[in-house]
Amino acid sequence: MFIYTVKAGDDLTMLSRRFGIPASRIIADNALRYPNNLVVGQHLIIMSDTVRHVIEEGQTMYSLSQEFGVPLDELLIANPDVNPIALQEGEIINIPIAEDENRRPAVINGYAYPTITDGALECSLPFLTFLSPFSYSVTPDGDIVPPNDDRIIERARASSVMPLMVVTNIYEGSFSTEVLSQILANPDARERLIASILTELERKNYHGVNLDMEYISPEDRETYNAFLRDLSDRLHNSGYILITAVAPKYRADQPGLLYESHDYRAQGEAADYVIIMTYEWGYTYSAPMSVQPIEEVRKVLQYAVTEIPSEKILMGMPNYGYDWNLPYTRGTAASSIGFMAALDLAVRNNSEIFYDEKSQTPYFYYTENGTRHVVWFDDAMSIDAKLRLVDEFDLAGASYWTINRCFIPNWEIVQNLFEVVKL
Q: Print burial letters for 167-182: b (CB count within 10 Å at least 16), e (below 16).
A: bbbbbeeebbbebbbb
- The alpha helices in 20-159, defined as continuous H runs, are 23-30, 61-68, 72-77, 118-124, 150-158
Known active-site residue 99:
no
Tell me phi and psi for residue 195, to 5 degrees.
-65, -40
- List the domains of the chain with CATH numbers: 2-96 (3.10.350.10), 104-318+394-420 (3.20.20.80)
**Using CA atoms, how far apart are residues 140 and 190, in angstroms rounded to an integer?**
10
pLDDT the model gives residue 401 = 98
- pTM of the full predicted structure? 0.93
Q: How far is CA 296 from the centre of its chain?
A: 15
Half-sphere exposure of 184 (CA within 13 A, CB side): 21
DSSP 316-347: EEE--EEEEEES--TTPPPEEE-HHHHHHHHH
pLDDT at 67: 81
Alpha helix segments (H runs only) across 6-149: 12-19, 23-30, 61-68, 72-77, 118-124
Distance of CA 302 to the CA centre of its chain: 18
Q: What average pLDDT does the segment 93-122 reach? A: 90
pLDDT higher than 70, residue 100: no
Helix and strand tally (H, E) in the chain?
Answer: 14, 22
Average pLDDT value for the chain: 96
Q: Contact, 100 vs 417, CB < 8 A?
A: yes
Provide the pLDDT confidence category of residue 99 given band limits of 50, 70 and 90.
low
pLDDT tens digits along 294-316: 999 999 999 999 999 999 999 99
Q: Which of 172, 214, 357, 368 is catalytic?
A: 214
Three-class secondary structure of residue 86 per DSSP: coil
**DSSP code of 148?**
S
Peptide bond into 327 cis (omega under 30): yes
408: Cβ contacts below 8 Å, ≥ 6 apart:
29, 30, 31, 123
**Residue range 215-239: average pLDDT?**
98
- Quote the pLDDT of residue 49: 81
Query: Does position 56 have pLDDT exceeding 90, yes or no?
Result: no
Over residues 375-387, the mean pLDDT reads 98
| Other residues' Cβ atoms within 10 Å of the Cβ of residue 286 | 15
201-210 pLDDT per residue, tens: 999 999 999 9
Burial 309-324 (b: 16+ CB within 10 A, else e): eeebbbbbbbbbbbbb
Residue-wise pLDDT for 240-276, tens only, equals 999 999 999 999 999 999 999 999 999 999 999 999 9
